[in-house]
Structure 1
Amino acid sequence: MTITPPDAPVLGTAGFDLSCWPVVRGRSPAGDLAMVEAWIDALTLILDSGQRFAVVMDMPGTITADAATLTEGRKKVILWMKQRREDLAARCGGFVYLPADPAEIEELAAKTAQVAAAFPFPLHVAPDEAAALERAHSLTH
């Protein structure tokens, strides 16, 4: 069976790259409400494809948005994840976070561990791109 990635312009506008399908490369939409909406639309399309996938999420080193914008964006993502929890559990093998600065890996791992129970899929942190892609590929089976 050949698995092909979903194809739609919204994936590019949300910063998703499907060239490593079924691994999806993306960047955190933190601090940009328009990007949060595009990110949710893109992940909805990916989920609705009915195929198993995993995400490598590039994390920004510094978030410059104000606290209210960050909170609003997080609320939107959390609400969407609650609505799509069963689909996410069935199709998303997990997220692998890749920090912009390798020196931030311990801090990102600690933050990830604090919130992991709220997600319907595993969360991981990788020290570099090769490790992130390897881990993500292992999550798609």
Structure 2
Amino acid sequence: MTEENETIDEAGTEAANVAMAQGESAGKSAIPPEELTRLTDDIIGALKTVYDPEIPADIYELGLIYKVDIDDSRDIDIEMTLTAPGCPVAGEMPIWVENAVASVDGVGQVKVEIVFDPPWTPERMSEEAQVAVGWF
């Protein structure tokens, strides 16, 4: 028997992320829908506590989170990027993300991977992040 993963895919940091995690992906989760909804909301909330120190917005609203997989064991795999490959906190930010998500009640192990494909662009920012950086 294989475990199915639920995924929050990067989609402009809008509600589509939550819909994907609630069972609209290819597989069915062994996690009850109510718990999956709570986990998803709590993980997003935890991601929103991590800020890029050079930009006054959180990493979720900046569009730095590309994918979050929640497996049936409640282990979390996160793919994220940085605003620039030479980001001065490149070594620290994944640890911040791991610690924030690991603090969510009911989460198993957390693994964070930095990816650069596709490259981050400012168009990935939510309206909230654009307001925070003064684009509106």
Same fold per superposition (TM over 0.5): no
Question: Is the helix fraction higher in 1 or 2?
Answer: 1
TM-score bin (small chain): 0.3 to 0.5
TM-score by length of 2: 0.35
TM-score by length of 1: 0.34
